[in-house]
Amino acid sequence: MSTVKIERNPSEDRLDELGVFDWGIWTKEVSKFPWHYDEAETCYFLEGEVVVTPNEGEEVTVGKGDLVTFPRGMSCTWDVRKPVRKHFRF
């Protein structure tokens, strides 16, 4: 099973290269819920803080300024600690 990949504070050039600011926006209030990735998702956090705990693997904390890739096939629990606003692409 692949792991969650996190780039902390990627450069503007990196974000432009990926076209991040043309991706959709997803928001979520403080909450906790199970999630399964049918396909890989890459997202860039504009706001918030989340602890993601894979069913198999180590928990990770992600939030504002992080560029994150969640692997296809991963099941996990999302614990949204601060309201999230992120760009995302599947």
Q: How many domains does the chain have?
A: 1
The string of pLDDT tens digits covering residues 66-85 is 999 999 999 999 999 999 99
The string of pLDDT tens digits covering residues 22-54 is 999 999 999 999 999 999 999 999 999 999 999
DSSP states of 30-70 as a string?
A: SEEEEEE-SS-EEEEEEEEEEEEEESSS--EEEETTEEEEE
Domain CATH for 74: 2.60.120.10
pLDDT at 90 over 70: yes
**Residue-level pLDDT at 57:** 86
**Residue-level pLDDT at 8:** 98
The domain containing residue 31 runs over which residues?
5-89
